Amino acid sequence: MPTTNATITLSSADLTNDVLALTQTTQLNKAGTVTGLDQTTGVGRKYTAATAQYTLAAASGFADNGAHKVYLKNTSSNAAEYFLVTVNAQDVGRLYASDWAFFPWGAVDAATADIKITPSAVNMTLEYMVIFQS
């Protein structure tokens, strides 16, 4: 089985009264097990031609209640451009230029838990990947 680790480091010399230096690492495992996630969509890019909402990942294509993980990155260099990220019809937040996100996604109801994006401008690109269990 594959072993995939995710690490995040948050650091700042002046955000708080003390130096901020947080690092966390976790192994990406199937739900309720110590077996590594074994599937990926591969790193892809979604090119948008309009400011309409796009379905990035349809929940019906993934196992219900899985320990899936999602990576998103706005490749824009224009600070005003963002992608609105929506999961299960709930707005999660905006990814502005060069912002990225990594979050768990366990489709409880495959009929409604799609991941959707809405670009703020035409001709934007979002880099993405889903690491999931079969």
If pLDDT is split at 50, 70 and 90, which confidence band does 112 have?
low
Q: How confident is the model at residue 63 (pLDDT cuts 50, 70, 90)?
A: confident
Q: Taking 60 as the threshold, does the pLDDT of residue 111 lie above it? A: no
pLDDT over 70 at 34, yes or no:
yes
Q: What is the mean pLDDT of the chain?
A: 93
What CA–CA distance (Å, rounded) separates 5 from 30? 13
Q: Please report, for residues 12, 51, 82, 88, the alpha-carbon distance to residue 109 in angstroms, rounded to integers and kept in the order given.
A: 39, 27, 27, 9
pTM of the model: 0.91
**pLDDT score, position 32:** 92
State which CATH number among 2.60.120.10, 3.30.70.260, 3.40.220.10, 3.40.50.300 fits the domain covering 37-132.
2.60.120.10
Q: Does 110 score more than 70 pLDDT?
A: no
Q: Which residue has the higher pLDDT, 2 or 92?
A: 92
pLDDT at res. 123:
97
pLDDT at 59 over 80: yes
Compute the distance between CA of residue 98 and CA of residue 126 in angstroms, rounded to an integer: 10
The pLDDT assigned to 108 comes to: 62
Tell me what pLDDT residue 100 has: 98
DSSP secondary structure, 25-80, as one string: EEE-B-TTSSSBP-EE--SEEEEESSSS-EEEE-GGGS-TT--EEEEEEE----TT
The predicted pLDDT at position 134 comes to 80
Q: Are 36 and 28 within 8 A, CB to CB?
A: yes
Parse the chain into domains and list their residue ranges.
37-132
Contact in structure between 30 and 112 (CB atoms under 8 Å): no
Asked if residue 66 has pLDDT above 90, the reply is no
Side-chain half-sphere CA neighbours of 79 within 13 A? 0
